[in-house]
């Protein structure tokens, strides 16, 4: 008997070639997931009948979810059901209105801060013009709520221009305007003082001229009527003189703290 050649002999099962193929097949099965086979004629694994075990519960969940959605849509389109829901809502609203103890949905009104400034609130004065109300309210906020107050140059200039007008800043709110102007400093303060001095000098000059005119033309009534200052302008000038003198007294004695 002739011996088999080494090239045609079959390697043993423990050969590395077989071990590598077994490791590769095991890794492939783990990656694909667990599968089971249904018994066939030859009890072989039929690839057309392989079903993933993890797929079944997911499909069942989807079908149940679809059923619930269909049931909800049917309930929503039911007219009797919608009428019942609307009636329940109306009943709840009536109960909440009739029950005084149920105040959970009622929004409490914001509590207004008490005025401790000593000045009247311009927002509560209905007789003030709109622009006067805005600018005086700006000055009032500096005393009422200093943390909320912010400097506004336009409104400060309005107060400086209209401090002589009894219509724009009436006597009721004059202390507030004085209080605000006492806090200004720098060039604005100096300009205000100069305006007050100029107003006083102009008033004295006009008074002197009117007195001379009255002495010269005292005998003629017609001449008097042409040289007399109209009552309205005279009242405005006297108001300006009084306020200018008061401002000079206040600004010369007060300490500046706010620009």
pLDDT digits (tens, 9 = 90+) for 25-36: 666 666 655 454
| pLDDT band for position 59 (cuts 50, 70, 90) | low
Which own/partner pairs from 123-127 qualify as long-range (CB within 8 Å, at least 24 positions apart)? 125/172, 125/173, 127/170
Q: Higher-confidence residue: 124 or 3?
A: 124
123, 176, 193, 206 from 163: Cα distances, Å = 18, 11, 13, 21
pLDDT at 223 over 80: no
Average pLDDT taken over every residue of the chain = 74
CB-based burial, 91-103: b 16+ in 10 Å, e otherwise: eeeeeeeeeeeee
Report field, pTM of the whole predicted structure over 0.85: no
The span from the CA of 248 to the CA of 68, in Å, is 85
**What is the tens place of the pLDDT at every residue in 103-140?**
444 445 567 788 999 999 999 999 999 999 999 999 99
Q: How far apart are the first and last CA of the chain?
A: 125
Q: Rounded mean pLDDT of 75-97?
A: 70
Q: Are 214 and 224 in contact (CB under 8 A)?
A: yes
**pLDDT score at 24:** 64
Q: Are 155 and 230 in contact (CB under 8 A)?
A: no
Strand 35-36, strand 51-52: pairing: antiparallel
pLDDT at 9 over 50: yes
| CA 60 to centroid of chain Cα atoms | 51
Q: Rounded mean pLDDT of 164-174?
A: 95
> Around Cβ 133, how many Cβ atoms within 10 Å?
19
């Amino acid at each position: 008997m002739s011996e088999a050649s080494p090239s045609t002999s079959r390697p043993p099962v423990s050969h590395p070639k077989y071990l590598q193929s077994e490791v590769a097949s095991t890794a492939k099965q783990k990656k694909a997931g667990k599968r089971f086979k249904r018994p066939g004629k030859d009890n072989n694994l039929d690839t057309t009948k392989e079903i993933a075990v993890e797929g079944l519960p997911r499909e069942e969940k989807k079908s149940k979810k679809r059923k619930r959605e269909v049931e909800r849509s049917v309930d929503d389109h039911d007219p009797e059901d919608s009428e019942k829901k609307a009636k329940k809502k109306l009943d709840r609203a009536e109960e909440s209105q009739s029950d005084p103890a149920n105040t959970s949905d009622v929004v409490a009104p914001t509590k207004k801060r008490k005025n401790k400034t000593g000045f009247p609130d311009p927002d509560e004065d209905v007789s003030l013009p709109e622009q006067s109300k805005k600018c005086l309210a700006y000055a009032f906020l500096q005393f009422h709520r200093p943390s909320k107050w912010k400097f506004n140059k336009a409104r400060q200039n309005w107060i400086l221009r209209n401090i002589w007008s009894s219509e724009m800043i009436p006597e009721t709110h004059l202390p507030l305007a004085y209080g605000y102007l006492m806090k200004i400093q720098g060039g604005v303060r100096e300009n205000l003082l100069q305006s007050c001095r100029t107003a006083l000098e102009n008033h004295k000059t006009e008074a002197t001229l009117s007195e001379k005119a009255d002495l010269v033309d005292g005998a003629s009534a017609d001449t008097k009527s042409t040289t007399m200052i109209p009552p309205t302008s005279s009242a405005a000038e006297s108001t300006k003189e009084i306020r200018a003198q008061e401002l000079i007294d206040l600004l010369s004695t007060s300490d500046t703290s706010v620009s």
